[in-house]
Structure 1
Amino acid sequence: MAHSAGAGDALDAQWQRVRARLRVSFGDAAFNSWLKPVVLADEGLAQDGDVHLAVPTRFMRDWVANHYSERLREIWRLENASVRRVVIHVRPTGATQPPQAKVAPLGDSLPVAGRPPMADRMAAAGLQVREMDDVERELSAPLDPRFTFDSFITGKSNELARAAALRVAESPTVTYNPLFLYGGVGLGKTHLMHAIGWHIRQRFPERRVVYLSAEKFMYQFIRALRFKDTMAFKEQFRSVDVLMIDDIQFIAGKESTQEEFFHTFNALCDQNRQIIVSGDRSPSDLEGIEERMRSRLGWGLVADIHPTDFELRLSILQAKAEKNGLSNIPQEVLEFLARRITSNVRELEGALNRISAYASLVGKPVTVTSAQEVLQDLLRANDRKVTIEEIQKRVAEHYSIRFADMHSPRRARAVARPRQVAMYLAKQLTSRSLPEIGRKFGGRDHTTVMHAVRKIEELREIDAAFAEDIDLLRRKLEG
């Protein structure tokens, strides 16, 4: 041993004072990110004047050595004049099992009432993955163990997106870069991203996987700017093997964040690292995103998730009822829910949970009538909830024009007429005022909307085929 027990106690006390000075010198943010994990190594202070420290990863050792070693040595010498230099080792913490044998806590160590801890939920889902390293733990949001490929119900509306996600997750090399998933709220984008993360962590445990929302990416960047630590931010994000960014539309209009994401994107692509992005619309239709960024996002494979049809909604309900042991819910009730709740899968599953809780708490059998009573607010919302964006998207698809043409200044008849149809349907199917509708169509005046409504009404009167076309669009939007 390099020192006796008494000398060791003195060295421990010196190390605690060194840590306190480091926190004062570099601030809480840098200390917590890079210096807090540093520990005094078993070798302690050797006779040659080398003080030995340890960190859990090679990346952290390199960062601490490059950015803090000189200050570390200076502070140590203030505490102990015999210190000649600081030596940093890589010593993974915890048991000596291979990485893939460990189960990650994934940021869910605090118990939640009525809910098993994350490790138990992972075990129940059959997920055994290595523990996250420091960069993953610092950057990544937790992955939900319920969201795997096995639990994703596939139908015509989402089969391409699932197949593309599985291909990316199973491939040892980068196949599509980036993979861009898009669709409306609650249709399964986040589920597929979590499934990709779990699959890669199981199949390729050596790959560093980071999943986070675009909002969190922005806040991480703002924090780095605030604490003048942008180099650490860049190094962290550019050291990952798989970067997954959810809800990219959040950074629309945020120029500095887009700039940083653009450079991170390019750096990872240059290193042949996988990027997966999700959004609420296709890259070409993202508003407030720079053209060069939209171009990059469309480089790889773009896969959309369409609204669910009746058969897929019923399959999802049946699978969830079977998994949760809800045999007390009759088939006709499941069919009723699948017909009436068309907005998104989250609301559909929430409705099933509500009527299941009703049956359990009240002790009455579940019927279509009781389901209508329990879910009357949700059913009302689904009956009336048609958004202008949905109208624009459906009309654009119907007339084979771009979604962006709904907002563009183009006046060509092939574009202007579908735009007028969308304005007319927005007036008929939503409660929005004429000025509000005009703003949704590229900031147009309310008189433009009035003109469009009158024009479509006139055409309906004189052209039966056109009227039938409008009625078809209306039925699709309503049901």
Structure 2
Amino acid sequence: MLNALWNDFINKNEQSKSLVPMVASILKQTRLIEIKDGSVLLACPNQGSRIYILGKLTLIERLFSAHIGKKTKVETVIQLVPPKKRTVATSPPLLNFQPTVEDILSRSGLSQKYQMENFAVSPTNQVAYAAAQAVIERPGTAYNPLFIHGGVGVGKTHLAQAVAHSIINIDPNKKVYFCPGDQFTNELIDSIRGKTTEKFRKKYRHLSLLIVDDVQFIAGKTGIQEEFFHTFNSVVSVGGQVILTSDRPPQEIKNLEDRLRSRFGGGLVLDIQPPDFELRCAIVLIKAKEKNVEINIEAARLIAERVIDARSLEGALISVYAKIIGKKEIIDLEAVESYFSQQTDRVTKKTEFPEVIRAVCSFYNIKSSQIRGPLREEKIATARQVAMFILRTVLKINLIEVAHILKRRDHTTVIHGVKKIQRLTMLNPIFKQEVDRIIQSVVSST
């Protein structure tokens, strides 16, 4: 009864356009548990869908109240919701061969570790997560292609592969393939050399789901773009889904043919921002659980505070754990503080100032001559002050030496620059993330 009511509510509001496809797709993953005294209890399959629904709660409450004719308040809980299996009426095969998980992963190019269940969701990626859920619910029709862009380590590959896993779980017979952009390029070149292009096309053009990671690698290669254009069209024309990831949106990919740029932007283009503090903390806890490592929340929060790059979080966790084996049973605040203290000492001793200059210039896309020069435009001035801040606070170089490195007249300029960056990092969390990311790149290079 409750399920019928809930499904009717979703379907009617989806048809009337009151619910956009993305919201409807997420709601179809939920289950109505109880209606009592104007309170509605909704079961969400995971934390990601719950976070997304909480952001749409006012809309859902308004529409559901109108649907049942009385004011309601929606509450959510996390509760496993069995996935809806898609069944196709076919004659039973003579021999019912069920491929193993290993078989499916081997032929699809997927990694077992990337699942929707262990994808940590926060405001920085919840729209991408919701879009992925919509694709799982309606592959080939919801958003085709789904184009996800963002920096290194923000979760693009994880989310794309998680969609593939979910689709295979629903129907193991789906033809799914994941490949990096450079792999597509190399396979095509090899097929031309070996005169096996028909085999190559048969592999790629008849898929239910094609995922190309770092698709920007095909840009600038005329023959590769020509083949990918026809591959893309073939997959979409038979109702298949295409998911693309890149480090930048389609309009910013240099030397990409206009027809491909048009195709890439023809579905849904969205970005994933670098993980915020709460998301990084969640990632640490998830990774610890996966590896059966005990860690208290204070220790997890300190790792999340000190490590900005998502990919480096797991490495930091493993490094701390390696240091406590045989000494402690749980990673605590003391263990993490000791680890980062040693890291700071190592960076201070090994890092030379040119590495800091290179990291800052790379981040702000300027030349080292500009950072040491007289120009005062905002971008260059900020980069110069960030360099001062890192040289002074991380490498512990004295004020006079910092002024000399950056070719400033006296050390009072350095004092002003360091104080300004300290103030900005306190007032602007996004700017703090940027500075921390530069520091992390310096640490990683030593």
Q: TM-score, normalised by structure 1?
A: 0.54
How far apart are residue 204 of structure 1 and its match? 2.2
How far apart are residue 215 of structure 1 and its match? 1.1
Q: What is aligned with 1:348?
A: 313
1:98 aligns with 2:64: no
Match of 1:244, SS state, is strand
Q: Is the 8 A contact 2:140 2:236 kept in 1?
A: no
How far apart are residue 225 of structure 1 and its match? 1.1
Q: What is aligned with 2:8?
A: none
How far apart are residue 97 of structure 1 and its match? 5.6
Q: Is the 8 A contact 2:424 2:431 kept in 1?
A: no
1:221 aligns with 2:188: yes
The code of the aligned residue for 2:434 comes to L
Q: Out of 331, 336, 341, which is 1:371 matched to?
A: 336
Match of 1:253, SS state, is coil
Q: Out of 130, 143, 151, which is 1:163 matched to?
A: 130
How far apart are residue 368 of structure 1 and its match? 4.0
How far apart are residue 261 of structure 1 and its match? 1.0
Match of 1:358, SS state, is helix
Q: Write the distance in 2 (CA, Å) between the matches of 1:474 and 1:188.
A: 21
Q: Out of 325, 331, 335, which is 2:301 matched to?
A: 335
The Cα RMSD (Å) is 3.7
Q: What is aligned with 2:40?
A: none
1:201 aligns with 2:145: no
Q: Which segments of 5 or more consecutive residues in structure 2 lack a partner in the other structure?
A: 1-92, 367-375, 389-405, 407-412, 437-446
Q: Out of 103, 116, 120, which is 1:149 matched to?
A: 116
The code of the aligned residue for 2:149 comes to Y
Q: Which segments of 5 or more consecutive residues in structure 1 lack a partner in the other structure?
A: 1-94, 107-130, 393-405, 407-418, 432-449, 451-456
Q: Percent of pairs identical after alignment?
A: 32
Q: Write the distance in 2 (CA, Å) between the matches of 1:361 and 1:478.
A: 36
- Bigger radius of gyration, 1 or 2? 1
Q: Out of 131, 142, 147, which is 1:175 matched to?
A: 142
Pairwise mapping of residues 284-323 of structure 1 onto structure 2 (< 5 A)? 284-323=251-290
The code of the aligned residue for 2:322 comes to A
The code of the aligned residue for 1:318 comes to L
Relative to structure 1, the CA distance from residue 339 to residue 256 in structure 2 (aligned partners, 3 Å threshold; closer, same or farther) is same
The code of the aligned residue for 1:337 comes to I
How far apart are residue 372 of structure 1 and its match? 4.1
Question: Could you give the per-residue CA deviations for residues 250-270 of structure 1, whole angstroms, max 9, x where no partner exists?
Answer: 223323212211221122223
The code of the aligned residue for 2:196 comes to D
Match of 2:254, SS state, is coil
How far apart are residue 361 of structure 1 and its match? 4.7
Question: Could you give the per-residue CA deviations for residues 402-455 of structure 1, whole angstroms, max 9, x where no partner exists?
Answer: xxxx9xxxxxxxxxxxx9533433444359xxxxxxxxxxxxxxxxxx9xxxxx
Match of 1:105, SS state, is helix
Task: Indicate the structure whose relative CO is greater, using CA pairs within 8 Å and at least 6 residues apart.
Answer: 2
How far apart are residue 277 of structure 1 and its match? 0.5
Q: What is aligned with 2:219?
A: 252
The code of the aligned residue for 1:478 comes to V
Q: Write the distance in 2 (CA, Å) between the matches of 1:282 and 1:259.
A: 20
Q: Is the 8 A contact 1:177 1:299 kept in 2?
A: yes
Relative to structure 1, the CA distance from residue 295 to residue 370 in structure 2 (aligned partners, 3 Å threshold; closer, same or farther) is same
The code of the aligned residue for 2:184 comes to F
The code of the aligned residue for 1:265 comes to F
Match of 2:336, SS state, is helix
The code of the aligned residue for 1:335 comes to R
How far apart are residue 307 of structure 1 and its match? 0.7
Relative to structure 1, the CA distance from residue 232 to residue 174 in structure 2 (aligned partners, 3 Å threshold; closer, same or farther) is same
Match of 2:266, SS state, is coil
Relative to structure 1, the CA distance from residue 97 to residue 145 in structure 2 (aligned partners, 3 Å threshold; closer, same or farther) is farther
1:233 aligns with 2:231: no
Match of 2:190, SS state, is helix
Relative to structure 1, the CA distance from residue 304 to residue 323 in structure 2 (aligned partners, 3 Å threshold; closer, same or farther) is same
Question: Could you give the per-residue CA deviations for residues 317-353 of structure 1, whole angstroms, max 9, x where no partner exists?
Answer: 22333343322x332221111111112x220111111
Match of 1:349, SS state, is helix
Q: Write the distance in 1 (CA, Å) between the matches of 2:301 and 2:117.
A: 23
Q: What is aligned with 1:263?
A: 230
Count of residue correspondences: 298
Q: Write the distance in 2 (CA, Å) between the matches of 1:352 and 1:265.
A: 40
How far apart are residue 96 of structure 1 and its match? 6.6
